[in-house]
């Protein structure tokens, strides 16, 4: 039973890491689009941006509604990245240890 719990938490940690990187890449690409370094009319760029928006949008939008932009700068990705890091570093190991202790 311990191996199954460890595997589930390994998968959860991996998914959170992928989400973390998707948010970072999305933020960097949004800056590149804003400064006209890359063109959104390029189909490859558009597809990558659309994919990243579909992946990160459901996570970021609730925070974007709660946190006002500071002079046109959206800090919600920073808040979400901190939350994801906290969950990975503190909540997942604590929950995994508790479940292993309870179920043996």
pLDDT digits (tens, 9 = 90+) for 16-66: 999 999 999 999 999 999 999 999 999 999 999 999 999 999 999 999 999
User: Can you tell me the distance from the alpha carbon of 52 to that of 30, in angstroms, rounded to the nearest whole number?
Assistant: 10
pTM for this predicted structure: 0.91
**Domain range summary for the chain, segments of one domain joined by +:** 1-103
Q: Are the beta carbons of 46 and 40 closer than 8 angstroms? A: yes
Q: What percent of the chain has pLDDT over 70?
A: 100
Query: H-type helices in the chain, by residue range?
Result: 2-34, 43-66, 76-86, 92-103
């Amino acid at each position: 039973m311990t191996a199954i719990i460890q595997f589930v938490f390994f998968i959860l940690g991996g998914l959170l890491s992928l989400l973390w990187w998707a948010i970072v890449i999305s933020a960097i690409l949004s800056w590149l689009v804003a400064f006209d370094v890359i063109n959104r009319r390029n189909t490859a760029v558009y597809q990558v941006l659309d994919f990243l928006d579909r992946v990160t949008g459901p996570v970021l939008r609730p925070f974007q509604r709660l946190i006002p932009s500071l002079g046109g700068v959206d800090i919600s990705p920073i808040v979400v990245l901190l939350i994801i890091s906290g969950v990975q570093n503190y909540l997942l190991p604590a929950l995994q240890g508790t479940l292993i202790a309870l179920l043996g």
